[in-house]
Amino acid sequence: MERTDIRDEAQALNARLVEWRRHLHKHPELGFDTQNTAAFAAEQLEAMGAADIKTGVGRGGLTAVIQGEKPGGVLGLRADMDALPIHEETGLPFASSEEGKMHACGHDAHTAMLLGTAKLLSRHRAELKGAVKLIFQPAEEIGAGAVAMIRDGALESPRVDAIAGLHTGNFWTGASAGEIGYSRGALMASADMFTLSITGTGGHGAQPDRAVDPIAAACQIYTAIQTIVSREVPPAQAAVVTVGTIQAGSAANIIPPSCTMQGTIRTLFPETRTRIQERIREIAEGVAGAMRASASVKFTYGPPPVICDSGMTEKLIRAAGRIVGPEHVRPVDAPTMVAEDMAFFLEKVPGVFFWHPSAVGEGENYPHHHPKFTVNEEVLWTGTGTMTELALTWQEQVTPQPAAGRGQALS
């Protein structure tokens, strides 16, 4: 039986969601230093009657439990809490009060929507099977918070059987504010960095024959690695290799002894991720050697791809359809090459991560991480409602639904 009351309750709660979001927006915190944000969330959760509230999980995180009155499994619901080192330029009356810190990625809204979910679930304990583990995570922006929380037991006591989360904003296409977007598989990319060091022999700029020019080798390596995606990755498996810095030399008439390149690799498939790393190393060493230089590569590994479990995705589609209407639940046009450390949770337990479009309006939509970024507060309830409905129904069987076509945004 469909629960029409969850949609109504979520809509009625929107003013409170806005209040929470604005408080969090005004008081942003960075990285793992999210103690005040966690304390604020803990205070709200305590008032709701949440159990086992723990702060300091993964250094700056928070977990709590909503225990149902029926037997069943445990669903994890995750929201990130940290802000960015950006000077806000929105001019909003609730703009950041912290110089050089801003919620420019929607994490304030994520936290508010999860608090709203906790509030609704606390009203529906009699219907809730098992329990819901609430996970408020720090340090998503530096890709370290999820791992820290997992190591600190966020997925244990009680053991989480499945997990879900969302991302709000406007950096995808195919859905409008008030709708829900999903992917039956890869949704976001992995994010790894590399540092490529080329060593030659320094010398006089007028006597290149007596030196081994590492800049010349670096230019050839740069050109060669740009062919990895276009010539070695299957066209259906999107990938990105970007070199962001090339640093060498101190004067126009000196051939330097070394050159350093740094870049990022983004992929949607684990095997592609591994293959690109192997080829960067092989190309760098081979090209440098052919030019009488040497090269070494160091990789810094970030989050893996965000890959949604097919079964949990179907349950998300059903739950979201009951909140916003099936015609407003649609597959994303394409995965984004932006990364999210929600991927670490999805490696541990089956789960789903979904889009919560919240574009503000024409001429007001600034990209994530922009000093004027903001979200459409009128649709916060759709995120809270969808997570609540998912928590109440995820243990039920579901029949896969066909992808929806385009529709009109909710008013």
Note down pLDDT in tens along the chain; length 411 residues. Answer: 345 589 999 999 999 999 999 999 999 999 999 999 999 999 999 999 999 999 999 999 999 999 999 999 999 999 999 999 999 999 999 999 999 999 999 999 999 999 999 999 999 999 999 999 999 999 999 999 999 999 999 999 999 999 999 999 987 777 799 999 999 999 999 999 999 999 999 999 999 999 999 999 999 999 999 999 999 999 989 999 999 999 999 999 999 999 999 999 999 999 999 999 999 999 999 999 999 999 999 999 999 999 999 999 999 999 999 999 999 999 998 899 999 999 999 999 999 999 999 999 877 899 999 999 999 999 999 999 999 999 999 999 987 666 554 444 454
pLDDT at 404: 52
**Are 263 and 347 members of one domain?**
no
Structural domain contains residue 408: no
**Are 84 and 13 members of one domain?**
yes
Cα 371–Cα 374–Cα 376 angle in degrees, nearest 5:
170
Contact 88, 374 (CB under 8 A): no
Full domain range(s) for residue 244? 192-300
CA distance 340 to 326: 27
Contact 332, 144 (CB under 8 A): no
Q: Which two tokens stand for residue 1?
A: 């039986």
Cis peptide, bond prior to residue 235, ω within 30 of zero = no
Structural domain contains residue 402: no
Contact 47, 135 (CB under 8 A): no
User: For every residue of 204-227, which 3-state class applies, written as one string?
Assistant: ECCCHHHCECHHHHHHHHHHHHCH
Name the 3-class secondary structure at 113. Answer: helix
Q: How many domains does the chain have?
A: 2
Structural domain contains residue 342: yes
Residues 6+ apart with CB under 8 A from 144: 31, 32, 341
Residue 53 sits at φ, ψ, to 5 deg, of -75, 120
Alpha carbon dihedral 366, 368, 374, 378, in 10-degree steps, equals 100
CA distance 280 to 264: 11
Residue 238 sits at φ, ψ, to 5 deg, of -60, 140
Structural domain contains residue 405: no
**Are 170 and 209 members of one domain?**
no
Which of the listed residues 300, 320, 344 is the one where a domain comes to its end? 300
**Are 104 and 32 members of one domain?**
yes
Q: Which two tokens stand for residue 44?
A: 């709200």
Which of the listed residues 300, 323, 347 is the one where a domain comes to its end? 300
**Are 17 and 44 members of one domain?**
yes
Model-wide pTM > 0.85: yes
Q: How many CA atoms lie within 13 A of 382 on its CB side?
A: 29
Rg (CA), the chain: 24
Which of the listed residues 275, 300, 325 is the one where a domain comes to its end? 300
Residue type, 131: A
